[in-house]
């Protein structure tokens, strides 16, 4: 019986050693992956800025936004006068925007009323229209307008006459 008991103890020791080795290997793997994740995140997005928002590992990896290949609205699809999104942001920063109107449902079409001309003009080339799998969304424009304290509203095109 003693012989059987020592074999059982030897088997348990061998099993415990294997279990400890597997645990250490798993911990090492987790640690190496955890150490690499920030490097991977920053390798693609280091210093990147998408529509005024700094990319971080949280906002780029969490939402799987992998880049900014889409340049926003193409001005050739617009009928009538417009200003580029870059020009709009410059005027917004310079205090020349009085009011912004976004058309529902997503805000993909927007008009700015400028203080200098007292005119309403379409925000065109480069305007971030909604793109569900990337970094293009009118939410960036809305956020910029809101942060500057500029009044804005959403309008349902068919119901605009009732406002």
Q: Over the stretch 6-49, which tens digit does the pLDDT of each residue have?
A: 555 555 555 565 566 556 655 555 555 445 444 443 444 455 66
| Residues 95 and 34 occupy one common structural domain | no
| Residues 42 and 81 occupy one common structural domain | no
| Residues 157 and 80 occupy one common structural domain | yes
Quote the tokens at residue 126. 């480069």
On whether residue 17 sits in a domain, the answer given is yes
User: What's the whole-number mean pLDDT along residues 53-78?
Assistant: 67
On whether residue 32 sits in a domain, the answer given is yes
User: What's the whole-number mean pLDDT along residues 42-68?
Assistant: 56
Residue 143: band (very low, low, confident or very high) from pLDDT cuts 50, 70, 90: very high
| Residues 90 and 144 occupy one common structural domain | yes
On whether residue 130 sits in a domain, the answer given is yes
15 phi and psi angles, rounded to 5 deg: -65, -45
User: What's the whole-number mean pLDDT along residues 64-84?
Assistant: 78
Domain range for 142 is 75-162
- Using CA atoms, how far apart are residues 126 and 132, in angstroms rounded to an integer? 17
Select from 126, 119, 123 the least CA-distant residue to 145. 123
**Most confident among 28-32, 45-49, 69-73, 156-160 (mean pLDDT):** 156-160
| Residues 156 and 87 occupy one common structural domain | yes
On whether residue 101 sits in a domain, the answer given is yes
Q: Which residue has the tokens 């927007």?
A: 110
Count of other CB atoms within 10 angstroms of residue 111: 16
Angle (CA) 13 17 21, round 5°:
170
| Residues 42 and 79 occupy one common structural domain | no
Q: pLDDT at residue 106 above 70? A: yes
On whether residue 64 sits in a domain, the answer given is no
């Amino acid at each position: 019986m003693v012989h059987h008991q020592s074999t059982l103890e030897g088997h348990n020791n061998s099993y415990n050693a294997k279990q400890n080795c597997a645990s250490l290997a798993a911990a090492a793997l987790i640690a190496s992956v955890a150490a690499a994740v920030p490097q991977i995140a920053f390798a693609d997005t280091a210093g990147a800025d998408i529509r005024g928002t700094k990319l971080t590992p949280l906002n780029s990896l969490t939402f799987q936004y992998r880049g900014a290949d889409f340049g926003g609205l193409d001005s050739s699809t617009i009928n009538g006068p417009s200003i580029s999104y870059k020009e709009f942001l410059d005027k917004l920063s310079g205090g020349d925007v009085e009011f912004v109107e976004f058309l529902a449902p997503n805000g993909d079409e927007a008009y700015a009323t400028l203080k200098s001309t007292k005119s309403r003009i379409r925000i065109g080339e480069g305007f971030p229209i909604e793109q569900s799998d990337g970094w293009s969304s009118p939410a960036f424009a809305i956020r910029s307008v809101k942060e500057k304290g500029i009044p804005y509203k959403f309008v349902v095109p068919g119901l605009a006459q009732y406002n």
